[in-house]
């Protein structure tokens, strides 16, 4: 009888669990994005196309491919997946991009602007980049 009660409690507890990180095939990120700026750490060190003399563009495809172009030359490509994390109290939602190259970034989209925040735990100063949708 004790085993039956234990098994029932175990099943009920598993059924009540909420999944915090779920795969989210987010279509809002799909498309081409033109680089506006990247700021490091305390956001006092910022770089733009004008200061670096580089035009960067990123493309997220519907088949989960990420392409990075610099001055119209493809510099890197990798698979990506988007995830959503919901806080325990359900009040906060955070979106992530996980690249097959093992890096991960938080992202948000406001109107036609994509914000990417480097969440690499090995990076002491996080970077924040802004991109404008071009299609």
Phi and psi angles of residue 89, each rounded to the nearest 5 degrees, phi first: -85, 0
**Does position 132 have pLDDT exceeding 90, yes or no?**
yes
Average pLDDT over residues 106-117: 94
Q: Which CATH class is domain 19-133?
A: mainly beta
Maximum distance among all Cα pairs of the chain, rounded to whole angstroms: 74
**Does position 130 have pLDDT exceeding 90, yes or no?**
yes
**Does position 2 have pLDDT exceeding 60, yes or no?**
no
Give the pLDDT confidence score for residue 126 in this predicted structure: 77
pLDDT in tens, 21-57: 444 556 889 999 999 999 987 657 899 999 999 999 9
Using H for helix, E for strand and C for coil, what is the string for 56-76? EEEEECCCCEEEEEECCEEEE
Closest CA to 79 of 95, 103, 57: 103
Please name the residues in contact with 26: beta carbons below 8 A apart, sequence gap of 6 or more: 82, 84, 95
Q: Which residue has the tokens 């099943």?
A: 11
Locate the domains of the chain by residue range.
Answer: 19-133
Structure tokens at 55: 């035009």
Closest CA to 116 of 62, 45, 40: 40
pTM of the prediction? 0.76
Radius of gyration of the chain (CA): 20
Which segment, 13-27, 29-43, 58-72, 113-127, is predicted with the most confidence on average? 58-72
Three-point CA angle 48, 70, 96, nearest 5°? 75
């Amino acid at each position: 009888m004790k085993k039956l009660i234990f098994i029932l409690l175990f099943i009920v507890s598993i059924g009540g669990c909420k999944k915090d990180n779920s795969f989210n095939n987010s279509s809002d990120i799909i498309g081409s994005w033109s680089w506006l700026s990247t700021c490091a750490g305390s956001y006092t060190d910022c770089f733009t196309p004008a200061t670096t003399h580089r035009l960067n563009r990123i493309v997220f495809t519907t088949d989960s491919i990420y392409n990075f172009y610099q001055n119209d030359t493809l510099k890197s490509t990798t698979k990506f997946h988007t995830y959503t994390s919901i806080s325990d109290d359900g009040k906060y939602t955070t979106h992530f991009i996980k690249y097959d190259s093992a890096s991960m970034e938080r992202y948000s989209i406001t109107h036609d602007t994509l914000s990417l925040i480097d969440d690499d735990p090995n990076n002491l100063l996080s970077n924040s980049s802004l991109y404008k949708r071009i299609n």
